Chain A
Amino acid sequence: MSARTAPLWQFRQPSVLPGFGLALGVTLTWLVLIILIPLSGLAWRSSALGWATFLELATDQRTINALRISFGTALAAALVNVVFGVILAWVLVRYRFPGKRLVDAMVDLPFALPTAVAGIALTTLYAPNGWIGSLLSPLGIKIAFTPLGIVFALVFVGLPFVVRTVQPIMEEIDKEVEEAAATLGANRFQTIRRVLLPGLAPAVLTGFALAFARGVGEYGSVIFIAGNLPYVSEIAPLLIVIRLEEFNYPAATAIAAVMLMISFAMLLIINMIQAWSRRRYGYGA
């Protein structure tokens, strides 16, 4: 009769990695303090509004327009960043050129620079009397003080997210995979389009999600360049601040709650796509 060594049920498998309990405890406490309590405060406040009031506040035309502008410009900026971020990462990974380290370091600047500074700088450039804006305004193109200006600002703050998520995956691409494609008769364009880019898709998706999320929440740089015309170029975060300044807390809460729900739903979907691709391909960022 052999004695049973392990208890019938265990919360976790014995492991040689120490500190599981401690690490999980710290993680949960931290998440609760930093994310969950503030957000549930928001949920609690908005649920106190009552369904009818909430709906009325959330479907206010100005709110809807602000949300549409916020999510629309963030989406557009994230898409632009995907294209140029991937190209930038490609150049940084694949080529050697003088000043490469400098360019590589510059990519991170949007992380560090106060976004208000970026917003003011962009506005100065793209305003109708700015360096670039004055060249474009005769053509009838207005960037600053329009939703297009918001996209420009969001492209700026979102760029490093795409580059920095795609770059390491690109570095890992096996040279042999490209050679294999070449031996099978694929030219450079076919290799990039059919072999390399699809392999990068999960990383690109992650970069897109991060850039998009950052764009939705961005405030500092946008308010300078947007012009902040209600219904036209007013973003949701700004509207929340405006409502707060009017002491209209219920409206601010409602907008915040809607933003939270949409953002969470989108990030969840993107995460699920990633989990699916990881299961299928055995990799993913």
Chain B
Amino acid sequence: MEVRVQNIRKEFGRFPALNDVSLDIRSGELIALLGPSGSGKTTLLRLIAGLESPTEGTVFFGDEDASRKTVQQRNIGFVFQHYALFRHMTVLDNVSFGLTIRPADRRPSNAEIRRRAGELLDLVQLSGLEKRYPAQLSGGQRQRVALARAMAVEPNVLLLDEPFGALDAQVRKELRRWLREIHDRTGHTTVFVTHDQDEALELADRVVVMSKGKIEQIGTPDEIYDTPNSPFVFGFIGQSNMLPVRIENGQLLMGDQPVGVSAPGEADGAAHLYFRPHDIELLDGEGSISGTVVVTRRVAGTRHVELDIGATGTKVEIELPPEKFTSDRARIAFRPTRWKLFRT
């Protein structure tokens, strides 16, 4: 189901957690709310769920105004970071809970409930563990039970609050791929909150980057990574370097040194130059950024080199293929190949 959030504002006491946020979620989409803690992403998710009510603004489910509906009426599936399973119930009872508490006229027969719960446990690959209690499961298994429980009520939208946040890295990676598979198979409109950019970029159809109660950028993972539209997004997504520069006649200067980057048509003045550590090429001569090697680290397939680039005392980090770097090199000159300017 389509979900539209319109001009939502939420205040806790005097503190604005969300400020005029609007977001359209397409039906069947897997969307990630990404941001540092305190950015309002969890608040937005809880507003869609109905666990919080907005100070101003509206939430639409399809064409229906859901803002006035209670959580119970919205028919959503919510998965919490710490599972929030009912610990006195078996796995099967946990998954069936949403169906068994329905009023008699909307409740499927017991056999039907058991069949559906069994199907879902199959889907989350937990068949055979129906009789276990949550305490007898691993973290990853518990989160899968929580997901099955949320899907059992055939929700309009599936909302996941840092679903893998409490799991260790290995399990997290596995579950990520698995969640994508489940989504592709069931087609639920899904919104998940994360502060892990890898998770967001790898998993989501579209990523919503949030900061300080506002949406910074909405886009596909490619758009977000390749064309960040603000210094915040550039700095928050992936690795990046920032250099203070001056523009003169379409040329970028750092101090008095040319950076080796031209920006024709840019007005003169001060700006910040952003580039990614791997978007560079090594140069031999002048007209480039050069610096002394401070420290180098080998990270998987690349070598990370930290450079001290002279007078300003700024340090930048670049990534090189290991064969391009020999340990006797004390000075490196380079030029960004892809970059973005933000005026100061």
Write the residues of chain A forming the contact surface with B, with a CB cutoff of 8 angstroms: 174, 176-177, 179-187, 190, 194-195, 198-199, 201, 280-283
- A180 to B159 alpha-carbon distance, docked (Å): 12
Q: Are B135 and A282 in contact (CB under 8 A)?
A: yes
- A182 to B73 alpha-carbon distance, docked (Å): 9
Q: Are A183 and B150 in contact (CB under 8 A)?
A: yes
Contact A184:B51 (CB < 8 A) given known A179-B80, A282-B135: no
**B102 interfacial contact with A, CB 8 Å:** yes
Q: Are A281 and B98 in contact (CB under 8 A)?
A: no
Q: Are A199 and B88 in contact (CB under 8 A)?
A: yes
Contact A183:B49 (CB < 8 A) given known A190-B101, A282-B87: yes
- Tell me which residues across on chain A come within 8 A of B89, comparing CB atoms: 198
Contact A195:B72 (CB < 8 A) given known A179-B80, A185-B153, A282-B135: no
- Tell me which residues across on chain B come within 8 A of A198, comparing CB atoms: 86, 88-89
A245 CB → nearest B CB, Å: 50
- Tell me which residues across on chain B come within 8 A of A176, comparing CB atoms: 80, 82, 84
B51's partner among A174, A179, A185, A201 (CB-CB below 8 A) is A179
- A186 to B76 alpha-carbon distance, docked (Å): 12
- A184 to B99 alpha-carbon distance, docked (Å): 8
- Tell me which residues across on chain A come within 8 A of B146, comparing CB atoms: 180
Q: Are B80 and A199 in contact (CB under 8 A)?
A: no
Q: Across chains A and B, which 8 residue pairs bring their CB atoms closest together, nearest first?
A: A282-B135, A184-B98, A176-B84, A183-B78, A180-B84, A198-B88, A182-B71, A176-B80
Instruction: Please indicate which of the listed interface residues A184, A186, A194 has the most CB atoms of chain B within 10 Å of its own CB.
Output: A184
A183's partner among B77, B86, B134, B135 (CB-CB below 8 A) is B77
Q: Are B80 and A282 in contact (CB under 8 A)?
A: no
**B339 interfacial contact with A, CB 8 Å:** no
- Tell me which residues across on chain B come within 8 A of A283, comparing CB atoms: 87, 135
Minimal Cβ-Cβ distance residue in A for B78: A183
**B97 interfacial contact with A, CB 8 Å:** yes
- Tell me which residues across on chain A come within 8 A of B77, comparing CB atoms: 183
Can you list 26 A-B contacts with CB-CB less than 8 angstroms, sorted by A residue number?
A: A177-B85, A177-B86, A179-B51, A179-B84, A180-B80, A180-B146, A180-B149, A181-B86, A181-B97, A183-B49, A183-B78, A184-B149, A184-B152, A185-B75, A185-B98, A185-B153, A186-B72, A186-B98, A186-B101, A195-B86, A199-B86, A201-B88, A280-B133, A281-B133, A283-B87, A283-B135
Write the residues of chain B forming the contact surface with A, with a CB cutoff of 8 angstroms: 49, 51, 71-72, 75-78, 80, 82, 84-89, 97-98, 101-102, 133-136, 146, 149-150, 152-153
B93 CB → nearest A CB, Å: 10
Q: Are B87 and A182 in contact (CB under 8 A)?
A: no
Q: Are B84 and A281 in contact (CB under 8 A)?
A: no
- A281 to B150 alpha-carbon distance, docked (Å): 21
Q: Are B72 and A182 in contact (CB under 8 A)?
A: yes
Instruction: Please indicate which of the listed interface residues B51, B86, B146 has the most CB atoms of chain A within 10 Å of its own CB.
Output: B86
- Tell me which residues across on chain A come within 8 A of B78, comparing CB atoms: 179-180, 183
B152 CB → nearest A CB, Å: 8
- A194 to B97 alpha-carbon distance, docked (Å): 9
Contact A282:B71 (CB < 8 A) given known A180-B80, A183-B150, A199-B87: no
Q: Are B87 and A183 in contact (CB under 8 A)?
A: no
- A174 to B87 alpha-carbon distance, docked (Å): 11
Q: Are B72 and A282 in contact (CB under 8 A)?
A: no
- Tell me which residues across on chain B come within 8 A of A177, comparing CB atoms: 84-86
- Tell me which residues across on chain A come within 8 A of B135, comparing CB atoms: 280-283
Q: Are B101 and A183 in contact (CB under 8 A)?
A: no
- Tell me which residues across on chain A come within 8 A of B51, comparing CB atoms: 179, 182-183
Instruction: Please indicate which of the listed interface residues B49, B98, B146 has the most CB atoms of chain A within 10 Å of its own CB.
Output: B98
- Tell me which residues across on chain A come within 8 A of B49, comparing CB atoms: 183
- Tell me which residues across on chain B come within 8 A of A201, comparing CB atoms: 88
